[in-house]
Amino acid sequence: VISTKLYTNAFIISPGPPQKILLGYKKRGFGAHFYNGFGGKVEAGESPAQAAARELKEECGVEASLDHCGTLLFVNKGGPEWAFQIEIYRADGYSGTLIETEEMRPEWFSAADTRFSETSLTPEVIPPPIPYNSMWPDDIYWIPLLLTKLPFVGRADFDTDTSGRYEMLRWWFGV
Ligand code: 6U4
Ligand code: NA
Ligand code: NA
């Protein structure tokens, strides 16, 4: 039996140039020490869009005009079987002031390939590239679709390896 839980994940994009994406360093709980979008559980009586806006505000202090852009299913095989359905949102900008919270530390990353950036752009305006090595392993497959505004769906199946880390066994992502 798979019991699916509904979650949200929201990303703020700064169109640039250089194009940037806001990620949060997760300080506690599930996925701690990974960079990710801002999000969490959809609560009773809430739509996913309402939950996405609430979680964004709770976790980094800002509001944004969020557009739905993807649906992902994560199935975990370790322990009792469970699955996450995650509704992904994006916005080209935000209002308010970004703050670090108990759960997340917000940071900007370069979304475009900065190896070929114009030399007139000083290092201060070119943040580090998206830290895929410090993110959930599925992210590298669908973040590019999010950045180009292609609506997507996908699934990834995980198992825990001997060190307790999540290992991605099978995956499929597409537009
Ligand atoms: P609590 O502590 O219950 O209030 P809550 O903020 O509701 O937590 P949280 O932070 O545990 O929920 O939500 C998990 C977040 O991690 C969601 O934004 C979805 C995201 N997530 C889970 N698995 C993921 C994966 N494989 N790839 C990914 N994001 C994932 O990119
Ligand atoms: Na969260
Ligand atoms: Na939360």
pLDDT digit string (tens) for 39-88? 999 999 999 999 999 999 999 999 999 999 999 999 988 655 678 899 99
Closest Cα to residue 106, out of 41, 11, 16, 8?
11
* pLDDT tens figures, 106-162: 999 999 765 555 556 665 578 999 999 999 999 999 999 999 999 999 999 998 777
Encoding tokens for residue 83? 């699955």
Closest protein CA for atom 11 of ligand 1? 30
Q: What is the DSSP letter of 163?
A: T
CB of 136 closer than 6 angstroms to any ligand 1 atom = yes
ipTM for the predicted complex comes to 0.94
- Mutate which of 5, 6, 8, 9 for ligand 1? The one with the most ligand atoms within 8 Å of its CB, which is 9
Helix (H) / strand (E) element for 6: namely strand 3-14
CB of 110 closer than 6 angstroms to any ligand 1 atom = no
Q: CA 34 to CA 86: how far, in whole Å?
A: 16
Helix (H) / strand (E) element for 146: namely helix 139-147
CB of 28 closer than 6 angstroms to any ligand 1 atom = no
Specify the long-range contacts of residues 162-167, CB closer than 8 Å, at least 24 apart.
Answer: 166/76, 166/78, 166/136, 166/137
Cα distances (Å, whole numbers) of residue 170 to 5, 31, 39, 156, 157: 20, 19, 24, 6, 5
Phi, psi (deg, nearest 5) at residue 160: -90, 135
Atom of ligand 1 nearest to the CA of 55: 6
Closest protein CA for atom 6 of ligand 1? 40
CB of 74 closer than 6 angstroms to any ligand 1 atom = yes
- Which amino acid, one-letter code, is at 142? W
